[in-house]
Amino acid sequence: MSIAETPTRANTEAPTVDEIATLARQLQGQVILPDDPNFLAARRLHGLSTARPAVIVRPASAADVAATITFAREHQLELAVHSGGHSLAHYSVVEGGVVLDLSLMTAISIDTENRTARLEAGLTWGEVAAALHPHGLGLTAGDTASVGVGGLTLGGGIGWFARKYGLTIDHVRSIEVVTADGQMVTASADEHPDLFWAMRGGGGNFGVATAFEVELHPAGMVYGGAIFYDACDAAVVLPAYARYAAAAPEELTTMALVMAAPPAPFIPPAMRGKPVLALTMVYSGDFEEGSRVVDPLRRLAAPIADVVGPMPYPAMFEFTKEATRFDQRQYARSVMVDTVDDALISALLSRGLDLPSHGALLELRILGGAMRRGRGDGGAFAQRDKGGLVMAVTYGYDEADIAQHCAWVDRCYEVMRPFGSGAYVGFMMRDDEARAGAVYPPATMERLRQVKRRYDPTNVFRHNLNVEPAGE
């Protein structure tokens, strides 16, 4: 039988009460059924979804994870793995299937002497940053506090220290994994090295990561924040910014956002809600040198606000606080590009300035540096040579405004697409699945499929950007 023929129970056919009771007896963690008053709240997905799983399991241990995988497999139920719940494609919820929600698995142990930590996969990056900050340590991850350790790490992890310290996966020493047959293994450079390679960039295809052993880096205080310009100046500021940020010392990692100005006290009242260009950044190093490096970005036009200075690294999450809300619709398109050049910027500005609401963002990340070099075998992340990531995203809009918001994103995508030379798995929507080849070029994809067939031959972990093509 081929993988695609693996029988899947019809979504309407829920497991029986007895079947679920048997599972619940095996677990230390929680089992939540649709008739539980907390069921919808427990589904806790970033973004609105109508999918109703048959059961939500919150494991308390790797043994619980193993029992749940076995239950889903034996009952031919689709399995969705939920860490922080931020999948834009809604992979962490499944209609009629089992949601394995890791939110009880949030232990963190820190070895300050050796600068390592063990992070359980249900932690969020905000929790990790808060726990590491008192020790002057951190780990490069995403820009949003509520994103989960599990999903972001398995995709790669492009964060505020990308140019200085590379991707999140560059700091992973080992991964505790429960495989499709319920075995608990450790994947590292020495044990199951093929699985270790695949799970650093290959997403949730290969097993459930229950914990990561990671190396930490200095991240106590950073020279960071944002410089805001009127979007009217974007045609002048953005190209100069992109050139400067790509050539700047690796200590500086930046992201430009075209957005509606937030109602923050540092924004002049007349500009609140108006389109602005925010140059957001972290300089990781000496503050005086940081100030010197950042200074040219303050003089690209007349800034309307400048809130860059020494700050605790976790304070950077304040800039993306609104994105942590779970109760909002979202729609996004993105590409990875070789360089963020003048042609791309002027194409984007021709479409991207007519923001449909305050929840619309055009995002340009300047990459390179340590991310380009990687560490060790580099894992399955195949986009290291890309100099930038461009995304149009809208969130928090009303049902009635869907068409307008999606049309704006699609217009931006239309112009960015010809410049794209790759894609990031973490930013894929469900209808982007045909673009799996943009995330994993042929040689990477072939290697991922070999690992997949070894560790998950019946495609239990298919509720993701699946490396097994439909119909094989």
Binding site for ligand FAD (CB under 6 A): 46, 80-88, 91-92, 102, 121, 142-144, 147-148, 150-152, 154-159, 203-204, 208-209, 323, 426-427, 464
Is residue 220 exposed (0-12), middle (13-18) or buried (19+ Cβ within 10 Å)? middle
Nearest distance in Å: CB 336, ligand FAD: 12
* 203 φψ region: left (φ > 0), alpha (ψ -120 to 50), beta (else): left
How many CB atoms are located within 10 Å of the residue 39 CB?
A: 15
Identity of the residue, 179 or 230, whose beta carbon is nearer to ligand FAD in the bound complex: 179
Contact call for residues 387 and 246 (beta carbons, < 8 A): yes
Query: In whole angstroms, how far apart are CA 414 and each of 333, 334, 347, 417, 432?
Result: 10, 10, 10, 6, 14
Identity of the residue, 303 or 395, whose beta carbon is nearer to ligand FAD in the bound complex: 395
Nearest distance in Å: CB 236, ligand FAD: 27
Nearest distance in Å: CB 46, ligand FAD: 5
Identity of the residue, 91 or 165, whose beta carbon is nearer to ligand FAD in the bound complex: 91
Tokens of residue 241, six digits: 């910014």
Nearest distance in Å: CB 102, ligand FAD: 6
Nearest distance in Å: CB 268, ligand FAD: 27
Phi and psi at residue 297, to the nearest 5°: -75, -15
Identity of the residue, 239 or 444, whose beta carbon is nearer to ligand FAD in the bound complex: 444
Nearest distance in Å: CB 389, ligand FAD: 9
Alpha carbon 5 to its chain centroid, in Å, reads 31
Identity of the residue, 126 or 239, whose beta carbon is nearer to ligand FAD in the bound complex: 126
How many CB atoms are located within 10 Å of the residue 96 CB?
A: 19
Identity of the residue, 180 or 305, whose beta carbon is nearer to ligand FAD in the bound complex: 180
Identity of the residue, 379 or 426, whose beta carbon is nearer to ligand FAD in the bound complex: 426
Identity of the residue, 88 or 382, whose beta carbon is nearer to ligand FAD in the bound complex: 88
Helices and strands, counts by H and E, the chain: 14, 20
Identity of the residue, 314 or 426, whose beta carbon is nearer to ligand FAD in the bound complex: 426
Distance CA(470)–CA(472), nearest Å, equals 6
Query: In whole angstroms, how far apart are CA 350 and each of 108, 329, 355, 411?
Result: 46, 25, 12, 10
Apex 463 CA angle, 458 and 469, nearest 5: 60
Contact call for residues 120 and 105 (beta carbons, < 8 A): yes
- What letters, b where the CB count within 10 A reaches 16 and e where it falls short, cover 107-128? ebebeeeebbbbbbbbbbbbbb
Nearest distance in Å: CB 142, ligand FAD: 3
Nearest distance in Å: CB 147, ligand FAD: 5
Apex 394 CA angle, 246 and 356, nearest 5: 105
DSSP line for 274-293: SEEEEEEEEE-S-HHHHHHH
Tokens of residue 311, six digits: 């700050």
Nearest distance in Å: CB 151, ligand FAD: 2
Identity of the residue, 75 or 82, whose beta carbon is nearer to ligand FAD in the bound complex: 82
Alpha carbon 97 to its chain centroid, in Å, reads 23
Q: Which residue of this chain has its Cβ atom nearest to ligand FAD in the complex?
A: 151
Identity of the residue, 283 or 381, whose beta carbon is nearer to ligand FAD in the bound complex: 381
Residue 152 per-residue DSSP state: H
116 sits in which H/E element: strand 116-120
Is residue 173 exposed (0-12), middle (13-18) or buried (19+ Cβ within 10 Å)? middle
Nearest distance in Å: CB 300, ligand FAD: 24
Nearest distance in Å: CB 146, ligand FAD: 7
Helices 62-74, 17-26: inter-axial angle, 10-degree rounding: 160
